[in-house]
Amino acid sequence: MADDEAPSDSSLLVIIVDTNPNQRYITEDPKVLTGCLDAVIAFANSHLMQKSRNQLAVIGCHFHKSEYLYPSPGKPLDVRQIDGQYELFTLVEKTIKMRLVNLIKSQPQEERPGESLLAGAMAMGLCFIARMRREQPPGLRMVSRMLVVTGSSDTAAQYINYMNVFFTAQKQQVLLDVCSLDKHLSLLQQGCDITGGLYLKVPSLEGLLQYLLWVFLPEASERRELVLPGRGRVDYRAACFCHRELLTIGYVCSVCLSVFCKFSPICTTCHTVFKIGGPLPMKPKKKKIKI
């Protein structure tokens, strides 16, 4: 669990936004993505407004790649001051929207949308946090956390990547928060429980900004004083790699730790061949001696 005993000098927030067009709420009404993006941008600006030293990073997660939406890897945009709006807020909004358009346009048109690369995006977020910690001036205490906003389902294909990210975040004392827009995500809920973060399935997308500000805006040191949704019962069952179903008892590969619901002499993930011993020798029955 992250160190939340004392207030920090600065807070680094990494937001991962799932922009996969295969999400159910986008396929039903593509305009909803615009409203969700506006809510995420308002939430990000609220984080920057809390402290002058607060830092922000936004990563767009698609089905073909993940990319930084903010800060821009190249030269920052030239932003003119808008009356009544802080220049940094304008820079955040315009940079995220411009780079998101480029991310969506770069998707292969002939390729069918697959699952979102959430595990890779979270790994990028951990790398960004590690770099910012190295560049942090000595004497300043910075806490870091990640927020995943997604409407996709978590699949067993990325199970090992998820577990690697969760335990790395736990070791680096990084909170992982998850805001689910559609389905219940048991694997990501495990990550929240491992790292000490919060998990919330939003009942209605119309109130997304209110849920983000109420649940995920406070830092770890402030959450203890607030009445927030409980973690509930966390399902720690592993998902099998063959049928992607949750298991209570299964078979585990001793090399790559893949989980299967049925025994197989060859691991389909790492192609390890297991040596199967023959049946145990049967002891001969003693013949009864007739007297």
pLDDT tens by residue, the chain, 291 residues: 444 555 678 999 999 999 998 898 898 998 899 999 999 999 999 999 999 899 999 999 999 899 999 998 877 777 776 667 788 888 999 999 999 999 988 888 877 878 899 999 999 999 999 999 999 888 888 999 999 999 998 776 787 789 899 999 999 999 999 999 988 888 899 999 999 999 999 999 999 999 999 999 999 888 888 888 877 778 788 778 787 777 888 889 888 888 888 888 898 888 889 877 666 566 676 666 666
Question: Do residues 186 and 245 touch, judged by C-beta distance below 8 A?
Answer: no
Rg over alpha carbons for the chain, rounded to the nearest Å, is: 24
Give the whole-angstrom CA distance, residue 123 versus residue 236.
21
The ranges of the chain annotated as CATH 3.40.50.410 are 10-223
Distance from C-alpha of 212 to C-alpha of 141, rounded to nearest angstrom: 24
Query: Count of residues for the chain?
Result: 291
Residue 187 contacts by C-beta under 8 Å, 6 or more apart in sequence?
154, 159, 162, 239
Specify the fold of 10-223. Rossmann fold (3.40.50)
Secondary structure element (H or E) that encloses residue 92, with its range: helix 87-105
Task: Tell me whether residue 76 is exposed, middle or buried, using C-beta atoms within 10 angstroms of its C-beta: 0 to 12, 13 to 18, 19 or more.
Answer: exposed
Q: Read out DSSP for 192-260?
A: HHHHT--EEE-S-GGGHHHHIIIIISS-HHHHTTS----------PEEPTTT--EESS-EE-TTT--EE
Q: Which of 185, 219, 187 is nearest to 201 (CA)?
A: 185
| Separation of alpha carbons 250 and 273, rounded Å | 18
Q: What share of the chain is helix, strand, coil (3-state, %, to 5)?
A: 35, 15, 45
Count of CB atoms situated within 10 Å of the CB of 286: 6
Identify the CA nearest to 151 among candidates 46, 242, 40. Answer: 40
Give the global pTM. 0.83
